[in-house]
Structure 1
Amino acid sequence: MIEKKITVEDIVRRFSLTVLAGEEHLQNTITQQRVHRPGLEFVGHFDFFPKERVQILGKKEINYLHKLSKEERIIRIGNIVSYHPPCFIVPSGEEGLTYLKHHCIKAGIPLLITKKREVTSEFILKIDAYLVKALAPEMTVHGVCMNVFGIGILLRGNSGVGKSETAHTLIGRGHRLVADDVVVLKKLSSQTILGTHDEKTKEFLALRSLGLLNVVRMYGRTAFQDETRIALDINLTKWQKDDLNNDLEQEPEYVDYMGVKIPSLEIQLQPGRDVAGLIEAAANNWYLRQQGYSAAEEFLSRLEPEFGRIEKR
């Protein structure tokens, strides 16, 4: 698992921000996934101040600073600046920020503003969403990632077992490729794993005997999806005679990715077997289980009257 970090410069580029101060310190690192809007800190409460986070100053904070006396403003801003957060961002414009700019230049902290006025709460939602993904712990796995019926599926298996060929069949049935060969997994939360590509292999599918295919060029934009939440892990294996389980319902198994458990199952491959169809069935069955439905339970409930009649005999 790789712990990620980004720089203030990455934020500037991503959101096209203007740098008012601290341009020489844009390499300050950001390691926290959420921004912070200081409030209590301006009145002297620093017990739980997340100094490692990007600090957002909206209209409320700026108006509060404007109302202070010059001496009081120096103290309030100086207290926060002394903790050296990675940067300050003001989404509501630059009017009256001369004093804040002075403090940031002196402390070596980048002061950034948006190119146009933005509602602070809406800007926070955007930058938080970006930081969660950009700083998410990640790992790479060998496999294929697909979106089938809106459900993210990770296909694994030994090299040459037929993962990419199966993916190609699924694409032909209207499903979407996310990544082939190298799948990047990002941990967004304790329950969420996001699957995506590594940029270099984006839109490419490698098929033995044919080589590389660009699925977007061949099948259109709907054949590719940039990322998907992984809901199901499927291990493709070679056919083993008399090794298939024919129980009414399989006991749930899981695979662990960075502490997140993903439901997992095995599908054996054999010439003539509709593996793509089985994957579609697995996706639909997973969805039904999320709705609380079990085909095995319904089947057994239909047999209960028969069992009752047998017992009476």
Structure 2
Amino acid sequence: MPKKVKVSDLVTEFHLEVVCGDAGLKRPITVADLYRPGLEMAGYFEFHPKERVQILGKTELTFFEGLSSEERTDRMARLCAPKETPCIILSRGMDAPIELLAAANENNIPVLRTNVSTTILASQLTGFLENRLAPSTTIHGVLVDVYGIGMLISGNSGIGKSETALELVKRGHRLIADDAVEIRQTADHTLIGSAPELIRHLLEIRGIGIINVMTLFGAGAIRNVKKISLVCKLETWQQDKQYDRLGLDEEMTRIIDTDIPLVTIPVRPGRNLAVIIEVAAMNFRMKRMGYNAALQFTNKLTESLSEEMDDIE
């Protein structure tokens, strides 16, 4: 579920001045999109997105100053929707019109101010809100950075995910999260993984206990966030199950609303899981670069069989 964002979070994050409407600082912000009410200043409110954070810059306020007293009062009264509008932000340190202050106080809508230019403010606010309001979930697993590929290692409890992660860290790769991976989905359907604050940099090894990876292996052994590109599912080897031996069939799994490649790795004594995961990461990189070893092998095999058939004929 998306995290909740309040107007007070914007005030704290961007050091905004509260001009009026302190009672409304707990108003929720539900969408990351912003809005500059230019047409609304001219009186057109037909499709006004009231639920967005409203930004008034130099253009809007300069136009507003040229309106009559009745129009000014009407525009600000209609702009300050009592239930939907989370807040109104003035950029470039502009003075708040008295009509705005009156309407905002009447409806308990916070009016905030900053000296930052309108364009920069909009960019900063959008990035912050998209990050905070992104759909998110928490998954049981381990997230590691292997050769620049964010790999989510999943599997039943006790199958060896943390031990595999420890071996990968010893081999020079980096740990992002162990046991619980917080995942958020960005607007372009990219999955970003991180560790909960309480267990960040920690790794649980059965028989030893909890270790701090950064303390033992240095700052180069950890990362705080990483894009998830591949899921490696560890499962106990089943004798009667047919496992993919060529790699032609690409499995996918869905996290939140995003489909992501999945490789299933059977676990049994004698298999070096860390090396297998390293190879899976390198093979994934090669596929993204356009080289597919399994496909090339299949094509060569088909060509060879075709030539043999031609010779027989």
Q: Which runs of 4+ in 1 moved over 4 A?
A: 96-99, 241-244
CA distance in 2, matches of 1:93, 1:228: 37
CA distance in 1, matches of 2:71, 2:43: 12
Of 257, 260, 283 in structure 1, the residue corresponding to residue 258 of structure 2 is 260
Question: 1:135-159, CA deviations, whole angstroms, 9 ceiling, x for partnerless residues?
Answer: 1222211111122222222111111
Kindly provide the amino acid, as one letter, of the partner of residue 108 in structure 2: G
Instruction: Tell me if the contact between 1:191 and 1:260 (Cα under 8 Å) persists in the aligned partners.
Output: yes
Q: Aligned in 2, Cα 1:301/1:53: closer, same or farther, shift over 3 Å?
A: same
Aligned to 2:218: 220
Q: What value does the CA root-mean-square deviation take over the aligned residues?
A: 2.2
Q: Aligned in 2, Cα 1:174/1:69: closer, same or farther, shift over 3 Å?
A: farther
Aligned to 1:189: 187
Equivalent residue of 2:131, what SS? helix
Deviation at 1:302, TM superposition (A): 3.8
Q: Aligned in 2, Cα 1:45/1:290: closer, same or farther, shift over 3 Å?
A: farther
Q: Aligned in 2, Cα 1:310/1:190: closer, same or farther, shift over 3 Å?
A: same
Deviation at 1:236, TM superposition (A): 1.0
Q: Aligned in 2, Cα 1:127/1:221: closer, same or farther, shift over 3 Å?
A: farther
CA distance in 2, matches of 1:105, 1:296: 67
Of 189, 200, 204 in structure 2, the residue corresponding to residue 206 of structure 1 is 204
Question: 1:25-78, CA deviations, whole angstroms, 9 ceiling, x for partnerless residues?
Answer: 111011112222222222222232221111122222222223334333222222
Aligned to 1:18: 17
Q: How many residues align?
A: 310
Instruction: Tell me if the contact between 2:76 and 2:99 (Cα under 8 Å) persists in the aligned partners.
Output: no
Equivalent residue of 2:198, what SS? coil
Kindly provide the amino acid, as one letter, of the partner of residue 64 in structure 1: F
Deviation at 1:306, TM superposition (A): 3.4
1:1-313 alignment, distance < 5 Å: 2-82=1-81, 84-95=84-95, 97-114=97-114, 117-189=115-187, 191-241=189-239, 243=241, 245=243, 247-303=245-301, 306-313=304-311
Aligned sequence identity (%): 37
Instruction: Tell me if the contact between 2:58 and 2:94 (Cα under 8 Å) persists in the aligned partners.
Output: no
Instruction: Tell me if the contact between 1:176 and 1:222 (Cα under 8 Å) persists in the aligned partners.
Output: yes
CA distance in 2, matches of 1:149, 1:46: 52
CA distance in 2, matches of 1:29, 1:288: 45
Equivalent residue of 2:233, what SS? strand
Q: Aligned in 2, Cα 1:306/1:208: closer, same or farther, shift over 3 Å?
A: same
Unaligned runs of 5+ in 1: none
Deviation at 1:7, TM superposition (A): 0.9
Equivalent residue of 1:189, what SS? coil
Question: 1:278-299, CA deviations, whole angstroms, 9 ceiling, x for partnerless residues?
Answer: 2122222223323333112222
TM-score when normalising by structure 1: 0.89
CA distance in 1, matches of 2:303, 2:283: 26
Kindly provide the amino acid, as one letter, of the partner of residue 77 in structure 1: M
